[in-house]
């Protein structure tokens, strides 16, 4: 079974500084990988996804993630964060089991951007 490890439960950072949220997944032949963002008391919104092709994927609000097969990682980065990026971020990997597809989520990383 797949598993996802988000290495940092909380990441504090100052506004306009760069940030990296780390995610590692267990090895598999092929994977689909996702980053979701959750603002307080809301559902999850898809930030970006890796399905195939280019290993670097980008979101519309400046985040990017790089799929690294040899290190089984899918770290999320942003070169300059804003106060509005304060949220919880979840990494997820797809799993197909018994004909059913599921997403396996990490425990989440709380990003706190300070002025």
Note the residues at the interface with other proteins (CB under 8 A). 9, 32, 34, 36, 41-46, 49, 51, 90, 94, 96, 98-103, 105-108
Q: Closest distance between other proteins and the C-beta of residue 8, in Å?
A: 12
CB of 11 or CB of 44, closer to other proteins: 44
12, β-bridge pairs: 112
36, β-bridge pairs: 46, 90
Among residues 30, 16, 29, the alpha carbon closest in space to that of 80 is found at: 16
Q: Closest distance between other proteins and the C-beta of residue 46, in Å?
A: 6
Q: Closest distance between other proteins and the C-beta of residue 32, in Å?
A: 6
CB of 15 or CB of 86, closer to other proteins: 86
CB of 83 or CB of 107, closer to other proteins: 107
CB of 25 or CB of 36, closer to other proteins: 36
CA torsion sign, 75 to 81 to 84 to 87? positive
Q: Closest distance between other proteins and the C-beta of residue 38, in Å?
A: 9
Q: Which two tokens stand for residue 115?
A: 């002025």
């Amino acid at each position: 079974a797949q598993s996802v490890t988000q290495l940092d439960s909380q990441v504090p950072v100052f506004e306009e500084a760069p940030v990296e949220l780390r995610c590692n997944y267990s090895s598999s032949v092929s994977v689909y990988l996702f980053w979701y963002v959750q603002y307080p008391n809301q559902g999850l919104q898809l930030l970006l996804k890796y399905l195939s092709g280019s290993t670097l994927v980008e979101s519309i609000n400046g985040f990017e993630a790089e799929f690294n097969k040899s290190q089984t990682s899918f770290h999320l980065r942003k070169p300059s964060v804003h106060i509005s990026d304060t949220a919880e971020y979840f990494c997820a990997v797809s799993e197909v089991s018994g004909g059913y597809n599921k997403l396996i989520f990490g425990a989440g990383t709380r990003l706190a951007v300070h002025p």
